[in-house]
Amino acid sequence: MWGKHDPRSWGNRSMGFFSTLLAKLTGADAARKPATRKHDPVFWTASPHDTPVATFDPPGSERRTAFLRIDDAPSRWWAPVGVTRTEPAELPARELTAEARALENLLISHFDGHDLTLPPLLNGAERVLVKLRDPKCNYHDVAAIVAEDPVIAAAVLRVANSALYRGLQKITSLPAALNRLGFNTLRTLMLRESLRAAMFDRRGAADNFAGLIWKRSLACATIMQGLSRFTKVPPDDAFLYGLLHDIGNVVVLRIIHDRAASTTLELDTETFEYLCSVCHQEFGELIADAWKLPSDLKALIADHHTHPEDDELRQVERLQLLLADMITSLLGYAPGEPFLLLESRVTRALELAHRSDFISFLEGLPEELEDVLGTA
Mean pLDDT over residues 215-232, rounded? 95
62 has pLDDT over 90? no
The phi and psi torsions of 69 (rounded to 5 degrees) equal -70, 140
Most confident by average pLDDT, 110-124, 343-357, 362-376: 343-357
28 has pLDDT over 50? no
Instruction: Confirm if 354 and 27 have CB atoms less than 8 A apart.
Output: no
pLDDT of residue 292: 92
More confident residue, 352 or 38: 352
- C-alpha–C-alpha distance, residues 114 and 106, integer Å: 11
- Confidence class for position 242, pLDDT limits 50, 70, 90: very high
What average pLDDT is seen over the chain?
80
Strand ranges (E), 58-158:
64-69
Tally of residues, the chain: 376
pLDDT of residue 323: 98
pLDDT of residue 293: 93
Most confident by average pLDDT, 64-78, 119-133, 199-213, 345-359: 345-359
Residue-range domains of the chain with CATH: 32-39+88-119+201-373 (1.10.3210)
Q: Is 12 exposed, middle or buried (0-12, 13-18, 19+ CB in 10 A)?
A: exposed
More confident residue, 92 or 277: 277
92 has pLDDT over 80? no
Q: Is 167 exposed, middle or buried (0-12, 13-18, 19+ CB in 10 A)?
A: exposed
More confident residue, 11 or 248: 248
Tens digit of each residue's pLDDT (9 = 90 or more) over 289-302: 999 999 999 999 99
- Angle at which helices 269-290 and 98-109 cross, to 10°: 10
Mean pLDDT over residues 30-57, rounded? 35
- C-alpha–C-alpha distance, residues 66 and 45, integer Å: 8
pLDDT of residue 312: 85
137 has pLDDT over 60? yes
Mean pLDDT over residues 178-196, rounded? 90
Q: What is the largest CA-CA distance in the chain?
A: 68
Note the pTM of the prediction, 2 decimals. 0.77
pLDDT of residue 11: 39
Share of the chain above pLDDT 70, in %: 77
Mean pLDDT over residues 335-340, rounded? 93
Dihedral sign from CA coordinates of 12, 13, 19, 25? negative
Tens digit of each residue's pLDDT (9 = 90 or more) over 305-317: 999 988 888 999 9
269 has pLDDT over 60? yes
More confident residue, 9 or 272: 272
